[in-house]
Chains A and B, each alone.
Chain A
Amino acid sequence: MNRLNKKQIITLVRIGISAALLISALLLKNETFRIGLYIASYLVIGYEVLIRSLKNIMHGDVFDENFLMSIATIGAFAIKEYPEAVAVMLFYETGEFFQEYAVEKSRRSITDLMDIRPDYANLLTDDKTITVKPETVRTGDMIIIKPGERVPLDGIVTKGKSALDMSSLTGESLPVDVKPDDTVLSGSINISGMLMLQVERPYNESTVARILELVENTSSKKAKTERIITRFSRFYTPIVVIFAMLLAVIPPLILGYPWRDWIYRALVFLVVSCPCALVLSVPLSFFCALGSASKNGILVKGGNYLEALAKTQAVVFDKTGTLTKGIFKVTAIHPEKLSSHDLLEIAAVAESYSDHPISKSLKEEYMEQIEKSRISEIKEIAGHGIKAVIDGKRVSVGNEKLMEMDAVKWHQCDLAGTIVHVAVDDEYMGHIIISDEIKKDAAQSVYNLKDIGITDITMLTGDSKSAAHHIAMQAGINNVAYSLLPHEKAEYVLKKLESIKGKGKLVFVGDGINDAPVLAGADIGVSMGLLGSQSAIEASDVVIMDDLPSKVPLLIRLSRKTLRIAKQNMAFAISIKLIVLTAGALGIASLWIAVFADVGVSVLAVLNAIRLLKKKV
């Protein structure tokens, strides 16, 4: 429950006093006294609106809601509808109070999400630590993070062990353990131990600054629905006000109908003429949805993307780093003539100078210390592999092209993955299979997408046919395009876009490495992970912060729900207003109903929009 601020408490007191005065007026018999009480009740609740409308009318703003409400209530006084005059003002202010309260509440729950800005950093100087602003810390500086503090800048742990709460970044509530040499992202909270960090980048490039910038700018990209409703509101008020004037004047003047009756009908129009209920609910729906998405670790760069996501027809996944972990591991060793250990040893030693992910995985699997002095000669042949002289023997480690080059009698392997062949003195020694692991939730993501009716799912990869099919099968994707170069991925997506044109939107999900052009080319580009490159995050429309592909179906569901609620709100507000206007013109709607159509509807619409903030999508 939010605490009320001073202004809200005063408003509540005014509502109470005004209501009490109105009730006593209704009970009173003395006519003069009664009118006095009505006026007192009216002024207590309405003085703010009256003052504001006076100010605005001096600036020539006749379509101001305060002015219209003042005219409507003063008009009701003039035709001696005292209780209704007071009640309209009273309900108007009560409604505004609730509406403001609800809007404030959703504002706060969303700005809470943005509350990841670190206030200070403990900078380590020669002899002591000093508290400084994170903006002043430079790359390479050492900082200290005590338990309970927020990590102010991205960095690498140099000392200490701890668990980090990264929920405000990724939506994942499970703490993450860190130890020396691990990377720590700013915005996470240190839970248990003291950490010493070497700062990796300045504040304005840090994770926290990047997220805040994304979130603050999201609402500048408006959804089409939002723009339509704002445009509608520009015409709505003037038209209703003009109708009100015609209604008040023409029938009595021309047809001789009673003035009082028709002025009353015009007043109903004035009360309903405020566009707020209409306009408020739609952007609020989108904003709540953006808030809910970030709560789930998904940053959406604007309402327009949510609108597009709701129309998703096809989803294209990149393989490495998106459906798979992007971490290569030795999964099998098939030696010939040697032991497994010796085959792995030769490969690991030969690859010991390389930083390629494949080489790393070999070294990791071998685990033992590598004596580089054993290598007397080494040559890397791009796209083939490595030739080296180890312990005086000629060693070739690489793909089948390297084997062909040396005319080694190699043979195929049935297993999926990247195959590293090994030959010693041109004699085939066997091969090692290295493969990438599929992410835990990859199959679930595909299943969930199909479950919500999206069956056009494709996987793209630069890998070989067997590696591609192996992963696709595990993920449950039938449609696979393999051995693609980066520009071929972009071409594939363009062709796909062409083929579903008019039917719906295309979502591309990638890890941001090498696929920035593809991300930009798709209707909606989703990139994985905050650690992806800056250009990828800029090129994408949605960033999934915790690398989970299962956030894609979740986001599509959320976007559909958002559009549904926005449309419900719009239809509800417009139809209630039209019904009350028609009834008002026919003389069957009272001012009581009119004031409900104005503020009641807007409160209900706001409450409907707030449903989107619920954690569960």
Chain B
Amino acid sequence: MKKTYKLSNLDCPACADKIERKILKLSGIKEVHLNFITKKASIEADSEEVFDKSEKIIKMHAGDFEKE
């Protein structure tokens, strides 16, 4: 399953890199890519649980987001 999110607060590529690495550490994650310029995060994972955890990480570092 693949989901994309539009983030509201992504200040710099270092932050994007940080979020990317944190999500990558979750077990069950297949792929994660944060695009600093388009402020989009795309995540591929097997279960809803992984998405929930990823969403928490995004929320913590980049504030609110919209699902696409």
Query: Which residues of A are in contact with B by a Cβ distance under 8 Å?
Result: 55-56, 59, 96, 99-100, 106-107, 110-111, 216, 219-220, 226, 230, 233-234, 275-276, 278-280, 282-284, 287
A279/B38 in contact, CB under 8 A: no
Q: Are B60 and A279 in contact (CB under 8 A)?
A: no
B12 touches A279 (CB 8 A): yes
B46 at interface by CB-CB < 8 Å: no
Contact pick for A56, options B14, B39, B60, CB 8 Å: B60
> Is there contact, CB below 8 Å, between B17 and A233?
yes
Q: Which residues of chain B are within 8 angstroms of A55 by Cβ–Cβ distance?
A: 60
Is the Cβ of A216 less than 8 Å from the Cβ of B17?
no
Q: Is the CB of A219 within 8 A of B11?
A: no
| 7 extra interface residue pairs, beta carbon distance < 8 Å, beyond A100-B11, A110-B37, A283-B13 | A55-B60, A99-B11, A106-B37, A107-B38, A276-B11, A279-B13, A279-B14
Cβ-neighbour of B35 out of A99, A220, A234, A284 (below 8 A) = A220
CA distance A110 to B12 in the complex (A): 17
Complex Cα gap A8–B39 (Å): 18
Question: Which residues from A are CB-within-8-Å of B15?
Answer: 276
Pick the contact of A233: B14, B33, B36, B39 (CB < 8 A).
B14
Q: Which of B14, B35, B39 contacts A276 (CB 8 A)?
A: B14
Give every chain B residue within 8 A of A279 (Cβ-Cβ). 12-14, 17
Contacts of A276 in B (CB 8 A): 11-12, 14-15
Which residue on chain B has the smallest CB distance to residue A287? B37
Asked if residues B60 and A230 are in contact (CB atoms below 8 Å), the reply is: no
For B61, the chain A residues whose CB sits under 8 A away are 56
Known contacts A56-B60, A96-B11, A276-B11: does B37 contact A230 (CB below 8 Å)?
A: no
Query: Which A residues are in CB contact (< 8 Å) with B39?
Result: 107
**Which B residues lie within 8 Å of A230 (CB)?**
13-14, 17
Give the CA-CA distance A99 to B15 in the complex, in Å: 15
Q: Is the CB of A280 within 8 A of B12?
A: yes
A219 pairs with B37, CB closer than 8 A? yes
Q: Are A280 and B13 in contact (CB-based, < 8 A)?
A: yes
**Inter-chain contacts of A106 with B (CB < 8 A):** 37
Quick one: closest B residue to A233, CB to CB? B14
Q: In the complex, what residues of B have CB within 8 A of residue A59's CB?
A: 60
The complex places the Cα of A100 from the Cα of B12 at a distance, in Å, of: 9
Please report the C-alpha to C-alpha distance between residue A282 and residue B37 in the assembled complex, in whole angstroms: 12
Q: How far is the CB of B35 from chain A (nearest CB, A)?
A: 5
* B38 contact set on A, CB distance < 8 A: 107, 111, 216, 219
Are B14 and A275 in contact, CB atoms less than 8 angstroms apart? Answer: yes
The answer to whether B13 and A219 touch across the interface, beta carbons within 8 angstroms, is: no
Q: How far apart are B48's CB and chain A's nearest CB, in angstroms? A: 22
A219–B41 CA distance with the chains assembled, in angstroms: 12
CB distance from A448 to the nearest CB of B (A): 30
Q: How far apart sit A219 and B14, CA to CA, in the bound complex (Å)?
A: 15
A100 proximity list for chain B (CB < 8 A): 11
A279 to B37, CA, bound (A): 13
A96 to B36, CA, bound (A): 16
Task: Find chain B residues with CB under 8 A from A226 CB.
Answer: 13
Q: List chain B residues, Cβ under 8 A from A220.
A: 33, 35
Query: Which residue of chain A lies nearest to B63 when distances are taken between CB atoms in the complex?
Result: A52
Chain B window 5-33, contacts with chain A (Cβ cutoff 8 Å), 1 for yes, 0 for no: 00000011111010000000000000001
- A-contact 0/1 string along B29-64, CB 8 Å cutoff: 000010111110000000000000000000011000
The residue of chain A having its C-beta at the shortest distance from the C-beta of B57 within the complex is A59
- Please measure, in the bound complex, the distance between the C-alpha atom of A547 and the C-alpha atom of B57, giving whole angstroms: 45
* Closest CB in chain B relative to A296 CB, distance in Å: 18
A234 touches B12 (CB 8 A): no
Smallest beta-carbon distance B9→chain A, Å: 9
Determine the distance from Cα of A284 to Cα of B36 in the docked complex, in whole angstroms.
9
Q: Closest 6 A-B residue pairs measured CB to CB?
A: A276-B12, A279-B14, A280-B12, A275-B14, A233-B14, A279-B13
B33 and A283: CB pair below 8 A? no
Chain A residues closer than 8 Å to B35, beta-carbon distance: 219-220
Q: What is the bound-complex CA distance between A59 and B37, given in angstroms?
A: 26
Query: Which residues of chain B come closer than 8 Å to A56, judged between CB atoms?
Result: 60-61
Q: Which of B12, B33, B37, B60 has the most CB of A within 10 A?
A: B12
In the bound complex, residues from chain A placing their C-beta under 8 Å from that of B11 are: 96, 99-100, 276
B residues less than 8 Å from A287 (CB atoms): 37
When C-beta atoms are compared, the residue in chain B nearest to A216 turns out to be: B38
Residues in B whose Cβ lies below 8 Å from that of A233: 14, 17
**Least CB distance, A565 to chain B, in whole angstroms:** 16
List chain B residues, Cβ under 8 A from A282.
13
Q: What are 13 A-B pairs at a CB distance below 8 A?
A: A56-B60, A56-B61, A107-B37, A111-B38, A219-B38, A220-B33, A220-B35, A230-B17, A233-B14, A276-B12, A276-B15, A279-B13, A284-B13
A292 to B37, CA, bound (A): 14
Shortest CB-to-CB span from B31 to chain A, Å, is 10
Chain B residue nearest to A106 in the complex (CB): B37
How far, in Å, is B16 (CB) from chain A's closest CB? 9
Q: Give the shortest distance, in Å, between B32 (CB) and chain A (any CB).
A: 11
A233–B11 Cα distance when bound, in Å, is 15
| Complex-state Cα separation, A219 to B12, whole angstroms | 15
CB A261 to nearest CB in B, in angstroms, measures: 31
The distance in angstroms between the C-alpha atoms of A387 and B62, with both chains bound, is: 74
User: Shortest Cβ distance from A328 into chain B, in angstroms?
Assistant: 44
Contact pick for A234, options B17, B33, B37, CB 8 Å: B17
Q: What residue of chain B has the Cβ atom nearest to residue A231's Cβ?
A: B17
Complex formed: what's the CA distance from A244 to B34 in Å?
Answer: 31
List the B side residues contacting A283 at CB < 8 Å: 13, 36-37
* A96 (CB) vs chain B CBs: closest residue: B11
Q: How far is the CB of B22 from chain A (nearest CB, A)?
A: 9
Report the nearest A residue to B33, measured CB to CB. A220
Q: Report the Cα distance A280→B37, complex, angstroms.
A: 10
In the assembled complex, the Cα of A242 lies from the Cα of B55 at a distance in Å of 31
Chain B residues, CB < 8 A from A219: 35-38
| Chain A residues within an 8 Å CB radius of B36 | 219, 283
Expressed in whole angstroms, the Cα–Cα distance for A238 and B59 within the complex equals 23
The docked-state distance in angstroms from the alpha carbon of A230 to that of B18 is 10
* Bound-state Cα–Cα, A283 to B13, Å: 8
Cβ of B11 to closest chain A Cβ, rounded Å: 7
